[in-house]
Amino acid sequence: MGVAPLTKNWQFSNGGDLQNYPIVDTHQHLWNIDRLQLEWPKPPIDNQDFLIPEYKKATEGLNFVKSIYMEVDVPIRLRREEALFALEICKDKNNNTVKAVICANPSDSNFRDFLNEFIGNNFIRGVRCRFESISEMQSTKSINNLQWLGRQGMSFDLGIRPEWLEASEVLVKACPETNFILNHCGNADPVAFFPDAQTRPRPPKCNAEQWKKDISILSNYPNVFCKISGIVSHVSNFNLTAELLQVPINHCIDSFGEDKVIFAVDWPVCLYNMELRIWVNTLKEIVKVRSLDVQRKLFHDNAVKLYDV
């Protein structure tokens, strides 16, 4: 299957059904277990490869026209190897993966030296890492390096715990020329937003009201975008319906606005709860009440602009 052509005449039916809608997936994980030596996956996604053939099968018939490779937290010694792995995928004309976000820690002394090899590479769009602490995230070194990253035309994916959202304002405020992409709805725990009458599989892992407040504050910064993704993987073996997911997802869309939200699958991590197709259809169910323009921006247009694809 080659790269699917884009079309400007999207077809809708059934009050906004997006069955034939072109989709850009801004958070596609791929890995070869032997080559990248991942240490974090657990059942049902451990001890197996997830590569382009598996991704094509999972997205078959969904009209995924473009995808962005997202780093997979390889051991530090293999970060360059992963970047080369991602470049191989992006250069292959037989798939739709056209850009990559690689791993580098802005608090590291060799941050710029490592990235210099990839600066100016049209396939490398941005960077992500997992900060070990708030102090690391707010450090002068991290801020200086992320200011530099923005000057290179690269973005930074912010994947942090919900309780760190408030502290992340220091970072995004200090780097106004750098685009930050808040991953996975700010890692909201959907259990925290269940209706009172709903049985909960476990206690919530975030404070719903504090999360709402912090999301609203971050959304005011023009350089912060929100990735509508990842929220389903926090809960395993539980039927997460559109009704149970709609509150945090709608809060993100309402707060950031129609021009600063982008869609992502977070496959295969979404398999901790549901198949890729189910997540796509669940989100479509949540947003079907919104205008067709908003739906088009969420699933396609905003990502095209943000990633220049």
91-111 mean pLDDT: 97
pLDDT in tens, 128-168: 999 999 999 999 999 999 999 999 999 999 999 999 999 99
**Residue bearing tokens 């750098």:** 178
Reading the block at residue 126, the tokens are: 């941005």
Q: Which region, left, alpha or beta, applies to residue 67 given φ > 0 means left and ψ of -120 to 50 means alpha? A: beta
Tokens of 248: 């945090």
Residue boundaries of the structural domains of the chain: 23-307
pLDDT(248) > 80: yes
**Dihedral Cα 44, 50, 56, 60, nearest 10 deg:** 0
CA end-to-end distance (rounded Å), the chain: 19
Q: What is the mean pLDDT of residues 42-54?
A: 95
Provide the b/e sequence for 75-101 (b: ≥16 CB within 10 Å): eeebbbebbebbbebbeeeebbbbbbb
Please state, as a whole number, how many other Cβ atoms lie within 10 Å of the Cβ of residue 116: 11
Tell whether the model's pLDDT for residue 8 goes beyond 50. Answer: no
* 308 pLDDT above the threshold of 50: yes
Q: Which two tokens stand for residue 1?
A: 């299957």
> For 293-307, what is the mean pLDDT?
97
Q: Is the dihedral of CA 32, 34, 36, 37 positive or negative?
A: positive
> How many Å apart are CA 238 and CA 211, to the nearest integer?
22
Q: Tell me if 99 sits within 8 A of 305, measured CB to CB.
A: no
Q: Give the per-residue pLDDT at 271.
A: 97
* Confidence band, pLDDT 50/70/90 cuts, at residue 99: very high
Q: What is the pLDDT of residue 6?
A: 32
Q: What is the pLDDT of residue 16?
A: 40
Cβ-proximal residues to 226 (8 Å cutoff; 6+ apart), any chain:
181, 182, 185, 186, 215, 219, 252, 253, 255, 256, 260, 261, 262
Architecture of domain 23-307: Alpha-Beta Barrel (3.20)
pLDDT for position 262: 98
Tokens of 19: 């069955």
Position 134 scores a pLDDT of 98
Question: What pLDDT, on a 0 to 100 scale, did the predictor assign at position 21?
Answer: 83
Please give the angle made by the CA atoms of 177, 130 and 155, to the nearest 5 degrees. 25
Report the alpha-carbon distance of residue 36 to residue 153 in Å, rounded: 27
The torsion defined by the Cα of 100, 106, 112 and 118, in degrees rounded to 10, comes to: 0
| Three-class SS of 143-174 | HHHHHHHHHCCCEEEECCCHHHHHHHHHHHHH
How is residue 208 written in tokens? 């719903």
CA distances (Å), 263 to each of 112, 160, 184, 283, in order?
29, 18, 10, 9
The one-letter amino acid code at 207 reads N
In the structure encoding, which two tokens stand for residue 254, read together? Answer: 């309402």
pLDDT averaged over every residue in the chain: 93
pLDDT at 114 over 70: yes
- Residue 79, CA distances (Å) to 72, 114, 155, 193 in order: 10, 9, 18, 36
